[in-house]
Chain A
Amino acid sequence: EAGVAQSPRYKIIEKRQSVAFWCNPISGHATLYWYQQILGQGPKLLIQFQNNGVVDDSQLPKDRFSAERLKGVDSTLKIQPAKLEDSAVYLCASRLGLAAANEQFFGPGTRLTVL
């Protein structure tokens, strides 16, 4: 089966600019996650969707980050305006459902550099 797809793979912007990332989860996966992975650290959850509803966005900096999953399939993550500390890899992951028995599959990530 096809894996989690993300685009773009790389993005370089200047601080205060805006940027958007796209994720297409594995077909049929109801749960979708966005993680931020700063160099040398583990992934940190930003937001979790179940279908098109938000389950957890407690770690999302809502003054500058937003995410949506309007039709319960693809998702976009936006940063506006970007700061230097937003430089990281943004990973999208999906899983079949909420049960812990379901494996979480990661996409290749988008590497963001903010200058």
Chain B
Amino acid sequence: GENVEQHPSTLSVQEGDSAVIKCTYSDSASNYFPWYKQELGKRPQLIIDIRSNVGEKKDQRIAVTLNKTAKHFSLHITETQPEDSAVYFCAAGAKEGGKLIFGQGTELSVKP
């Protein structure tokens, strides 16, 4: 069935360093790949997304890359700050229906 694998499950970095989270998906029909940030006890919030006709997208300190051949996409956060600490979820969605399959989450900790 449809599946999204996310690694690592936990990630600890020093403030100012970069963080990379990787996801792979199984459904070749997937063509929409959002990333959500969820702070403790709060709702998931979209931080960036990418569609299958684009290989890379950047928004200030956040970038996402997509390799459709390998069914692999990654989130890159540069110049990390303590307020980046949260759980990050990747997801994959098909064009029709909008159903999202989520990864297991990565708990990012940015140490001052």
Contacts from A to B (Cβ < 8 Å) = 31, 40-45, 48, 55-56, 91, 95, 97-109
Contact = CB atoms under 8 A, between A and B. Distances in A.
Contacts of B101: 45
Interface stretch (B12-20, B42-50, B65-73, B75-83): B42-50
Nearest to A92: B43
B94 interface: yes
**Which residue of B34, B99, B103 has the most chain A CB atoms within 10 A of its CB atom?**
B99
A45 B104 contact: no
Nearest to A102: B98
A22 B27 CA distance: 32
A102 B49 CA distance: 11
A45 B45 contact: no
A57 B103 CA distance: 20
Interface of B: 4, 6, 31-32, 34, 36, 42-46, 49, 51, 89, 91, 93-105
B98 A104 contact: yes
Contacts, number: 64
A104 B96 contact: no
Contacts of B32: 100-101
B58 to A, nearest CB: 18
B43 A98 contact: no
A42 B97 contact: no
26 contacts: A41-B104, A42-B91, A43-B102, A44-B102, A45-B100, A48-B98, A56-B97, A91-B43, A91-B44, A95-B98, A99-B95, A99-B98, A100-B31, A100-B51, A100-B96, A101-B32, A101-B51, A103-B34, A103-B49, A104-B34, A104-B98, A104-B100, A105-B46, A106-B36, A106-B45, A107-B43
